[in-house]
Structure 1
Amino acid sequence: MADTEKLKRENTAPLRQAMQHGSAGKNDLARLTHLSFPTVSRIVDEMVERGEAQ
């Protein structure tokens, strides 16, 4: 479980950085961060739930 949380944090960091440069769709974020679309989608959805993203 700890490895999963660590990986999630490592994947969230580049997403947050990419989002600071303006709004972008999930496809754009996946391309910019080199993360898979499902990974980006899951993390962004969680960020929206927590109020960190719109």
Structure 2
Amino acid sequence: MTLSATGEDGHEVAVPVKTVLRHGWTVLADGRIHADLPYDPRLGPTTEPGDDEH
């Protein structure tokens, strides 16, 4: 299962659930989940290798 997160460019990006659980999250008023995650401008959200989902 993956969740979406908003990247620095304002677009939503997929993020592994394990990463969100590790970093914590906030439910926004519109029901979206916000998580403050490490983000590389070229690669997108950076995750631990064990979090990757296929």
Q: Same fold by TM (over 0.5)?
A: no
Q: Which TM-score applies when normalising by structure 2?
A: 0.22
Which has a greater percent of strand? 2
Answer 1 or 2: which has greater helix percent. 1
